[in-house]
């Protein structure tokens, strides 16, 4: 059940109606959300829910144990059990075949027999997001950052809540589970803003992302040898915009949907392609993941509070594992390590020369050059991210740098969507806030007409086949 399907809109309307009919009673309203979340996920396949239930059960028992124990050793042991079991589920179902293939490649030439047949395990949709959110909750409980002890039902609902389950954002406890006790409220303005956010997400997904993907990105990356260098470059840029508008669309709809139930999720994107260095980029892109890696990996490793060589190593570990989180293929780790290496270079440069001032005669020039360099790095490294293999990525790079000209295969529609994507990305956020204010001030019947017209317009403009969200594969 995709967010951009009519089926989801009917599902959302029914769930919304039942929830607010029972909103004064805690367990009935939470029961509505649990049933809705289980049904939502079951539309793909119900079997992973058994896996999620078991993983949550182990974590919940560990939380109960170290909340009641005064022994540091016992508490650390229980935390270790929780982390190992949770990551064990992720590694088994997502990375088992990758590790098997790597072992075959490394040990086979040495005469060591390794299973060559694939395990063929089902990869549950949203497993990576489930894992990181589950770990954050356990660690926050261990650290004492969550004061209240929640029931198993609340714990499970926090992880399965349907707006964020499949592709995030990774939601902290303070934004969801700690709000379960509060009687929810929803003003007309808050409801209107939630609907507006959903409408913006649908437009991003169906009008921009899907058109760029089907109109240029997919055919070029499938057969780069059939296109000129210029067309390959435009396709690489188009993919970066497709990925942003696809993923931020999902986040917009998730945030808007959560708002309709009285929950406020944190923002997940902040115009990342305006970043002037890679640190700035990762503070704007997939913010919930960047913050998770900072708080639960980089800082526990020592962050930048250790020696400079160790700080650089911590950065490389964080970016490498953050890259590998995206998919069961070493090319994702290489993509992450490439970003990590360039961030290390930037940090060493700053240690040597100091961070450049944000004001002064040369600040605008430095910012401009930094933006060009950052965007170029993001676009070029994304070729590894998008290609089905490193060999295929190499073919794309070779074709890209051959220098052949010609843009005959870039359609007018694709050029138009690229222009729309670029202009909307640089447009000040205040413009979208004012558009939201205008939408909220409309009478309810007018709002309904506007949404219907937007839906009809989207259907008319997009003749391409409806596509799943890119991050569903992660």
Q: Which residues are known to be catalytic? A: 326
* 71-86 burial: b if 16+ Cβ within 10 Å, else e: eeeebeebbebbbeeb
Q: What angle do CA 341, 347, 350 make, to 5 degrees?
A: 145
Nearest Cα to Cα of residue 421 among 199, 212, 275: 212
Whole-angstrom Cα distance, residue 103 to residue 92? Answer: 15
Do residues 90 and 129 lie in contact, with contact meaning Cβ atoms separated by under 8 Å?
no
3-class SS letters over 310-348: HHHHHHHHHHHHHHHCCCCCHHHHHHHHHHHHHHHHHHH
Q: Which residues lie below 8 Å from residue 302, measured CB to CB, with a gap of 6+?
A: 310, 311, 314
| 3 state DSSP class of 434 | helix
Distance CA 292, CA 294 (A): 5
| Angle at 131 (CA atoms; ends 141, 3), nearest 5 degrees | 115
Q: How many helices (H) and strands (E) does the chain have?
A: 21, 0
Distance CA 334, CA 390 (A): 10
Instruction: Please state, in angstroms and rounded to a whole number, the distance separating the CA atoms of residues 201 and 206.
Output: 9
Cα 8 from Cα 468, distance rounded (Å)? 13
DSSP string, 84-118: HHHHHHHIIIIIHHHHHHHHHHHHGGGT-----S-
- Report how far residue 175's alpha carbon sits from residue 161's, in angstroms, rounded to the nearest whole number: 12
395-to-21, 221, 229, 379 alpha-carbon distances in Å: 57, 10, 11, 16
CB 386 within 8 A of CB 213: no
- How many CB atoms within 10 Å of residue 301? 15
Tokens of 32: 């509505």
**Residues ≥6 apart with Cβ < 8 Å to 363:** 356, 357
Angle at 60 between CA 288 and CA 18, to 5 degrees: 70
Q: Which residue has the tokens 């993919």?
A: 239
């Amino acid at each position: 059940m995709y967010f951009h399907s009519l089926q989801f809109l009917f599902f959302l309307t029914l769930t919304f109606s039942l929830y607010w009919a029972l909103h004064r009673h805690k367990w009935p309203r939470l029961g509505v959300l649990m049933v809705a979340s289980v049904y939502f996920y079951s539309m793909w396949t119900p079997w992973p829910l058994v896996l999620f239930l078991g993983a949550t059960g182990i974590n919940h028992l560990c939380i109960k144990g170290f909340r009641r124990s005064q022994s540091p050793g016992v508490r650390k042991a229980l935390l270790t059990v929780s982390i190992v079991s949770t990551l064990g589920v992720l590694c088994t179902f997502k990375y088992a075949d990758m590790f098997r293939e790597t072992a075959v490649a490394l040990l086979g030439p040495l005469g060591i027999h390794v299973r060559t047949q694939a395990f063929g395990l089902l990869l549950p949709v949203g497993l990576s997001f489930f894992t990181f959110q589950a770990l954050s909750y356990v660690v926050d409980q261990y650290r004492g950052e969550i004061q209240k002890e929640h029931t198993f039902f609340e714990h499970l609902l926090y992880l399965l809540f349907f707006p964020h389950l499949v592709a995030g954002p990774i939601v902290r406890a303070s934004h969801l589970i700690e709000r379960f006790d509060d009687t929810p409220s929803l003003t007309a303005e808050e409801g209107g803003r939630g609907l507006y956010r959903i409408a913006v997400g649908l437009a991003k997904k169906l009008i921009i992302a899907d058109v760029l993907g089907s109109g240029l990105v997919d055919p070029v990356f499938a057969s780069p040898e059939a296109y000129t260098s210029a067309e390959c470059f435009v396709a690489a840029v188009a993919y970066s915009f497709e990925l942003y508008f696809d993923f931020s669309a999902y986040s917009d709809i998730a945030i808007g949907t959560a708002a309709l139930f009285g929950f406020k999720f944190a923002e997940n994107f902040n115009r990342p392609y305006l970043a002037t260095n890679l640190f700035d980029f990762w503070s704007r892109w997939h913010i919930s993941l960047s913050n998770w890696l900072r708080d639960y990996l980089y800082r526990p490793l020592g962050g930048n509070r250790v020696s400079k060589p160790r700080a650089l190593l911590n950065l490389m570990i964080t970016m490498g594992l953050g890259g590998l989180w995206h998919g069961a293929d070493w090319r994702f780790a290489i993509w992450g390590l490439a970003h990590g290496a360039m961030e290390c270079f930037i940090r060493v440069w700053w240690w040597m020369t100091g961070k450049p001032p944000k004001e002064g005669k040369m600040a605008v020039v430095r910012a401009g050059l930094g933006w060009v360099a950052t965007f170029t790095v993001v676009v070029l490294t994304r070729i590894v991210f998008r290609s089905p293999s490193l060999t295929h990525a190499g073919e794309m790079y070779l074709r890209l740098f051959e220098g052949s000209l010609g843009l005959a295969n870039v359609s007018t529609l694709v050029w138009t969507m690229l222009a729309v994507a670029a202009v909307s990305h640089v447009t000040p956020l205040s413009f979208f806030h004012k558009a939201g204010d205008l939408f909220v001030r409309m009478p309810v019947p007018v709002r309904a007409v506007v949404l219907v017209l937007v839906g009809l317009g989207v259907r008319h403009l997009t003749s391409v086949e409806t596509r799943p969200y890119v991050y569903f594969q992660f």
